[in-house]
């Protein structure tokens, strides 16, 4: 039994009342608990264990039957000397140097962005100690995605040498990542900026979903910041990165989601932006799309509050109550946005906002980046 369900049973009893959704009105205050209807049926039926398969065993079949465009990851330097030679790695300009990889500034005079400016690049060299293989799914996905979505960090090329070092060339995020930005800023971002970032991040996730990809590691440090463009020159543009844990979640043979095995319960203490249902000491599985929605919500919550939705090291028995109370304490966002965040962060997946419904509500229809658009709507925001 998942952690959140065990918690409710422990406090309320096996036959006690179960957590129920809030049917939210825009003109209500977040502190009010409004009556709502129980969902008629779970949004996603519980997976039958006999239908759950190990992803790695089915990878080759997936790539052939689901999307034949996923063909290769890193390519061999010896067979592509000319292309690799276009990248000039500036070894004296170190961005990061770790046990498994190092990152340097890089140039490629052949590459230009759409506006004619040279694209700033980084070269990430994964050492053999990283154990990343040239045909690993992580690299296959990066190569295929390439520069197809403006809200995902662009990958220019990927190579490997005879020592199995991987060379990954991507665009350079000149303003770092979301986690460091919020830490250095010592304050959360505004509601309007959070909504704009939410839309951009959602666009990236939606693109991945169309390919049957679940990111599985959405968190502030994987949100990279770039200079603002267009009508927002003074505000950072965000792009999604960090695809090491990404999976193909759709099984064409079953015409269903490939449910993922839960990690041990104690992992909750270190994997702060993962959904509660992804942790269990039993032989249980979870829906990766539902889990990504929670990670999406927790990342946005962190951006406006600089704290986690709940204390992962010492979680309370009723996680929904703890999360709701933490949301209520955020003074910088309006009540409608608090309701919206709570819908993303429900611990019971039956009541969590469905991915496809995240921006369906009319309160998001008017000016996307304007917080004032919320107060002008009399629509309902449903978090069931």
pLDDT digits (tens, 9 = 90+) for 164-205: 999 999 999 999 999 999 999 888 999 999 999 999 999 999
pLDDT value at position 315? 65
The last residue of a domain, from among 110, 137, 171? 171
Assessment of whether the complete model's pTM goes beyond 0.85: no
Residue with tokens 């030679």: 85
pLDDT value at position 209? 93
pLDDT value at position 282? 84
Q: Are 139 and 160 in the same domain?
A: yes
Structural domain contains residue 212: yes
Radius of gyration for the alpha carbons in the chain, expressed in angstroms and rounded: 22
Reported as a pLDDT band with limits 50, 70 and 90, residue 124 is very high
pLDDT value at position 49? 40
Please indicate whether residue 191 or residue 72 has the higher confidence score (pLDDT).
191
Reported as a pLDDT band with limits 50, 70 and 90, residue 234 is low
**22 pLDDT above the threshold of 70:** no
What CATH number does residue 241 fall under? 1.10.510.10
Q: Are 204 and 327 in the same domain?
A: yes
Could you give the residue ranges of the DSSP H alpha helices within 122-190? 137-145, 178-185
Most confident of 13-22, 227-236, 359-368: 227-236
For residue 91, how many C-alpha atoms fall within 13 Å in the half-sphere facing its CB? 0
**4 pLDDT above the threshold of 70:** no
Q: Are 358 and 275 in the same domain?
A: yes
- The answer to which of 73-77, 78-82, 134-138, 278-282 has the lowest mean pLDDT is 278-282
Kindly state the average pLDDT of the residues 9-16. 35
Task: Compute the distance between CA of residue 238 and CA of residue 152 in angstroms, rounded to an integer.
Answer: 8
Structural domain contains residue 65: no
Task: Compute the distance between CA of residue 327 and CA of residue 187 in angstroms, rounded to an integer.
Answer: 16
**337 pLDDT above the threshold of 80:** yes
Q: Give the tokens for residue 89.
A: 């790695």
Instruction: Indicate the number of domains in the chain.
Output: 2
Task: Compute the distance between CA of residue 298 and CA of residue 305 in angstroms, rounded to an integer.
Answer: 10
Structural domain contains residue 66: no
Structural domain contains residue 244: yes
Task: Compute the distance between CA of residue 288 and CA of residue 270 in angstroms, rounded to an integer.
Answer: 19
Task: Compute the distance between CA of residue 370 and CA of residue 364 in angstroms, rounded to an integer.
Answer: 9
* Sequence-separated (6 or more) residues with CB below 8 Å from residue 67: 211, 212
**25 pLDDT above the threshold of 60:** no
- The answer to which of 183-187, 299-303, 317-321 has the lowest mean pLDDT is 317-321
**98 pLDDT above the threshold of 50:** yes
Q: Are 166 and 210 in the same domain?
A: no
pLDDT value at position 172? 96
Reported as a pLDDT band with limits 50, 70 and 90, residue 314 is low
Reported as a pLDDT band with limits 50, 70 and 90, residue 235 is confident
Q: Are 120 and 243 in the same domain?
A: no
Q: Are 144 and 204 in the same domain?
A: no
Task: Compute the distance between CA of residue 368 and CA of residue 372 in angstroms, rounded to an integer.
Answer: 10
- The answer to which of 28-32, 254-258, 305-309, 365-369 has the lowest mean pLDDT is 365-369
For residue 73, how many C-alpha atoms fall within 13 Å in the half-sphere facing its CB? 17
Structural domain contains residue 306: yes
pLDDT value at position 232? 65
Question: What percentage of the chain carries pLDDT values higher than 70?
Answer: 71
Longest distance between any two alpha carbons in the chain, whole Å: 69
Kindly state the average pLDDT of the residues 233-253. 88
Provide the 8-state DSSP code for 66: T
Kindly state the average pLDDT of the residues 125-144. 94
Q: In terms of Cα–Cα distance, which of 262, 320, 243 is closest to 70?
A: 243
pLDDT value at position 270? 83
Structural domain contains residue 113: yes
Structural domain contains residue 40: yes
Domain ranges, residue 227? 3-47+176-382
Residue with tokens 């991987």: 166
pLDDT value at position 291? 97
């Amino acid at each position: 039994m998942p952690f959140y369900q065990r918690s409710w049973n422990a406090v309320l009893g096996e036959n006690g009342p179960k957590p129920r959704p809030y049917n939210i009105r825009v003109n209500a205050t977040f502190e009010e608990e409004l009556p709502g209807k129980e969902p008629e049926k779970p949004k996603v039926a519980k997976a039958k264990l006999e239908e759950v398969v190990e992803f790695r065993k089915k990878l080759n079949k997936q790539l052939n039957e689901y999307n034949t465009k996923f063909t290769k990851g890193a390519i061999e330097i010896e067979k592509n000397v000319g292309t690799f030679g276009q990248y000039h790695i500036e070894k004296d300009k170190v961005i990061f140097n770790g046990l498994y990889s190092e990152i340097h500034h890089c140039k490629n005079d052949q590459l230009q962005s759409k506006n004619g400016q040279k694209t700033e690049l980084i070269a990430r060299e994964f050492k053999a100690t990283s154990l990343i293989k040239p045909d690993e799914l992580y690299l296959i996905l990066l190569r295929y995605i390439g520069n197809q979505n403006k809200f995902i960090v662009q990958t220019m090329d990927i190579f490997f040498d005879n020592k199995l070092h991987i060379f990954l060339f991507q665009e350079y995020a000149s303003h770092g990542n979301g986690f460091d930005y919020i830490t250095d800023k010592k304050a959360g971002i505004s509601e309007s900026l959070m909504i704009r970032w939410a839309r951009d991040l959602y666009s990236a996730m939606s693109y991945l979903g169309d390919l049957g990809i679940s990111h599985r590691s959405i968190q502030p440090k994987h949100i990279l910041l770039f200079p603002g463009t267009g009508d927002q020159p003074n505000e950072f543009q965000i792009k999604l990165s960090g695809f090491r844990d990404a999976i193909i979640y759709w099984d064409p043979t079953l015409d269903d989601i490939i449910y993922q095995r839960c990690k041990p319960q104690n992992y909750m203490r270190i994997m702060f932006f993962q959904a509660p249902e992804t942790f269990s000491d039993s032989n249980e599985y979870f829906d990766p799309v539902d889990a990504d929605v929670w990670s999406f919500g927790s990342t946005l919550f962190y951006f406006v509050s600089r704290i986690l939705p709940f204390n992962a090291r010492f979680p309370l028995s009723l996680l929904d109550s703890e999360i709701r109370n933490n949301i209520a304490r955020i003074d910088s966002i309006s009540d409608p946005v608090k309701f919206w965040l709570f819908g993303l962060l429900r611990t019971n997946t039956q009541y969590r906002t469905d991915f496809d419904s995240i921006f369906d509500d009319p309160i998001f229809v008017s000016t996307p980046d304007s917080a004032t658009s919320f107060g002008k709507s009399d629509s309902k925001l449903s978090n069931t």
